[in-house]
Structure 1
């Protein structure tokens, strides 16, 4: 269920998520129970994408660049952010995906259907 005023970017993400079998729920649903019995708290942050691991839109952009083999320096340049911010995003992605490093994060993301190679 999406509101009428949804942005094109959010609509495309919702379509992609639904195609992968994820449920699209309104943000105001407190602690929804997912089909596998786990609970996932929806964020109030409009940049959050509920794809099982709550990666933000920016983290998904960084993840796609990681999959291309980009270094933190290249990620920073391509996204117009600082090197330290890029490094923070990579660490955040690895933590959310329970990965041991950037390569493992990409492998986990592929297994979860978050990115395609």
Structure 2
């Protein structure tokens, strides 16, 4: 976990270490400390605060994701620690490649559940928050999608934007889980998105998904 507030780190460590299936393998007070620690400990998930001295969570996330692309190594998922209502940098962190959100004030079971979810890479966390963050920012010119999606890929992307996991999408569309995984992989490649969160952000920005309409 990377957070410049020692009290926050102490609290999170105590909460997560009490879970039988979770282990805290390292702590850092800023992004500059976090990057070498991540390379050394190889965690499954990094809890990354956004506002930190020396190197903030946005820069650290961006460097981590760039390293992942350059080396083709399987690096950890990044879970942003934030307060959605007040953190103006959440959008930038997501664009940098963060995989999900975590509210600092969330109950312990929700925090642990969030860590488990983002570790699987299967579910977009807090889709309402993503929608609020994206739509709160002005987009004078809607960007074009890097490549056109098929009708089925578009349908699945809209379902992802509601927060559905792959099994839930498979059940909703009455198709196999492997079929959904193939479509998700294809649409991420077409959108040049590192994860589901980035794909949903691009879908909102481009107008492919309209705020308030993505309901299943």
Equivalent residue for 2:202, pick from 108, 112, 116:
108
Residue 107 (structure 1) shift: 0.5
Residue 114 (structure 1) shift: 1.1
Q: Is the 8 A contact 1:97 1:109 kept in 2?
A: no
Q: Deviations over 1:20-41 (max 9, x none)?
A: xxxxxxxxxxxxxxxxxxxxxx
Distance 1:94 1:113 in 2: 17
| SS of residue paired to 2:198 | helix
Residue 109 (structure 1) shift: 1.2
Aligned counterpart, 1:10: none
Q: Deviations over 1:59-91 (max 9, x none)?
A: 111011000000000010001110011011111
- TM-score, length basis structure 1: 0.54
Equivalent residue for 1:57, pick from 138, 147, 151:
151
4+ runs deviating over 3 angstroms? none
In the alignment, does 2:204 pair up with 1:96? no
Number of aligned residue pairs:
67
Aligned counterpart, 1:81: 175
C-alpha RMSD over aligned residues: 1.4
Q: Is the 8 A contact 2:146 2:192 kept in 1?
A: no
- TM-score, length basis structure 2: 0.30
In the alignment, does 2:159 pair up with 1:71? no
Structure 1 alignment gaps of length 5 or more: 1-50
Residue 52 (structure 1) shift: 6.2
Structure (1 or 2) with the larger CA radius of gyration: 2
Aligned counterpart, 1:19: none
Q: Is the 8 A contact 2:161 2:200 kept in 1?
A: yes
